[in-house]
């Protein structure tokens, strides 16, 4: 895995549950709306993630499920798709987190077979995540994880669809 590491003191169980993806570098989200990810833990310790969104064709609701194996240090994961995506793999890592777990930032590697490029996501728990907190979260992400360049992020519709405001990214 790359040099990217999770923040010290990360409590994995506090990441479980649903998050809105409010800002991202992933081009996939430009033509889709209302993206969320929900993490659940299986009895064997692996995590499931279910990504839900509205997308083409016909603006219908879609979901993609993946299995995640926690690797060391905690906060790093090896992802594998399920179903037709079982051949797809990726690595990802929580790179920044709010002390109260109101927001989280993740980095993910390029998915095998070029399905998606390497990228970054900013998540929020609260659908009405305040703009001031979004600014602070983005600053923390830029300062600590150092994504490739400022302004590379764009807001997803989740910031608006769930009643929140745009996340300033530059």
pLDDT in tens, 42-94: 999 999 999 999 988 888 999 999 999 999 999 999 999 999 999 999 999 99
Q: What is the CB-side half-sphere exposure of residue 135 using CA atoms within 13 A?
A: 3
| Ranges 39-43, 112-116, 120-124, 160-164, most confident | 39-43
> 153, 122 in Cβ contact below 8 A?
yes
The CB density around residue 40, as the number of other CB atoms within 10 Å, is: 12
Residue 170 predicted with pLDDT over 90: no
Judge whether residue 167 has pLDDT over 80.
Answer: no
Instruction: Give the fold, CATH level 3, of 12-161.
Output: Lipocalin (2.40.128)
Quote the DSSP letter at residue 132.
H
Per-residue pLDDT band for 135 (boundaries 50, 70, 90) equals confident
**Please, which pLDDT band fits residue 3 given cuts at 50, 70 and 90?**
low
Count the neighbouring beta carbons within 10 Å of the beta carbon of residue 9.
Answer: 8
């Amino acid at each position: 895995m790359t040099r990217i590491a999770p923040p010290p003191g990360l409590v994995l169980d506090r990441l479980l549950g649903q998050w809105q993806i409010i800002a991202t570098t992933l081009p996939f989200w430009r033509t889709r709306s209302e993206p969320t990810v929900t993490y659940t833990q299986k009895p064997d310790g692996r995590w499931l993630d279910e990504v839900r969104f509205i997308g083409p064709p016909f603006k219908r609701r879609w979901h993609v499920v993946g299995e995640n194996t926690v690797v060391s240090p905690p906060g790093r994961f090896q992802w594998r798709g399920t179903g037709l995506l079982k051949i797809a793999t990726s690595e990802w890592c929580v790179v920044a987190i709010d002390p109260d777990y109101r927001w989280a930032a993740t980095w993910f590697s390029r998915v095998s077979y070029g399905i998606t490029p390497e990228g970054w996501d900013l998540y929020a728990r609260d659908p009405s995540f305040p703009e001031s907190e979004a600014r602070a979260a983005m600053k923390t992400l830029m300062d600590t994880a150092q994504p490739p360049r400022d302004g590379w992020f764009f807001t997803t519709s989740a910031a608006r669809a769930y009643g929140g405001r745009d996340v300033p990214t530059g």
